Structure 1
Amino acid sequence: MVPVLQVEHLRKVFPVDDRRTLLAVDDVSFSVAAGEKVAIIGESGSGKTTIARMVARLTDVTAGRIFLQGTDITQLTGRKLREHYRHMQLVFQSPADSFDPRRTLGDGIAEGLRNFGWQKEAAWQEMERLLGLCGLEAGIAAHYPHEVSGGQCQRAAIARALALRPKLLLLDEATSALDVTVQADILALLARLQRELSLAYLFICHDIALVQDFCDRVLVMHEGRIVEEGTPDEVIGAPQQAYTQRLIDSVL
């Protein structure tokens, strides 16, 4: 079966000044199967968020290829890229910042549906269904991002991400701005949605303990490279790299 996401020999070099460059991602390859939850963990600056931004095509690649459901999207632009975006959606670290502060949450969620041809009334009804799916009352649609809690806003952001029925969600530190109790609630929601909708997740995270019971597979990044991978039990229970052990020791 073709993976939902296939990344091959991904590389990203950023210019620092006229003479210097920064190698942020160095020859990274991995895949995410349908319905699989894969975490990329590592310290700040390890390259994990740069990978997420390249996969989402928010940052151009220096080298390598990205396949979404078997289609090479590495160089796609404009309408062709937009057609494939519906299969992959992002959930960001700061949900309030990902919404337009001048528009209600309901408008923000329904907008994606309208952009793909849904009529106004149908889009609004679907938006309310998505809110309910994510554990929110329909009335929250009338609120602005700053009027709700961080957990409620992240649930609304997840509802928005589900609007086009994607196959893959990119979750970039999607729980790190929330307190521990709310983190657990959001992870429980994501686990339920994954089971019910057969979603695949690429979960970008710096906290190895957070993904221990949530993900099927863990990729450990250090200085732009994947230095270890396996199931959470393998990576956490019997780490092969000293760097992975330091990550574990810092949180467990």
Structure 2
Amino acid sequence: MPVSASLTESATLLRRIGVVVGSVLVTLAYCLDVLWRAALRRLDRARVDRYTRGWAGALLRLVRLEVAVVGRAPDFSDGRRYIILCTHASHYDIPVSFVALPGSIRMLAKSELYRIPVLGLTMRLAEFPSINRHKRDQALADLARARQMMESGIVLWAAPEGTRSRSGELLPFKKGCFHLALDTEAVIVPVAIRGIHKVLPARSWRFNLGQQVSVHIGEPIDAASYAREALPELMAETRQRIAALLGE
């Protein structure tokens, strides 16, 4: 049910500061919990799954964001390798995905994030993979690890646009996550999040509170049915499905 206009508001400067500080504190608290549990060897995947959803839910409550889901995700526990390819128009794409979708979802992270103190180590311990495409030996090792993680039940989340869209319209797709899908013979799950760009527009700190977004889940695409040289066709098919989900 749509949120009424009276519940939607632009955050004041004081509220923006509160959202940012609250988000940092929530993230830090979950990171420290992961670190000490890992040190005591009391960290497992099920707990990390609860933490990612708890962290995501807390961030969404800070901006009073409501989430509706359209469509149904596949059974991620069927032994196949899965990669969610999602639109990217806000920093909130990731927490919304964690809340809306089932399974042990882990974001395919940029290597730069691992350099951030506390956060980087937490992400490694929580099984967030990264692929370094600039160094071949490292890329092969990262790819082998990502495939092993997917075979053990991890569902990767990636944004084929690579950067956030200011308008919410689809940007050109990059090839990296499609190479990964082909290399791991993964099943691609196309996902589009409508209205997310209004919550926190790209490259701004203008929070809009009380927004409602909808997560649209499309029919899966089996990358194993595409030859390596058919990468452009795989990209085009995925883009077409995501654009349809987005309503473009």
TM class, shorter-chain normalised?
A: 0.3 to 0.5
- TM-score, length basis structure 2: 0.39
- TM-score, length basis structure 1: 0.39
**Higher strand content, 1 or 2:** 1
**Higher helix content, 1 or 2:** 2
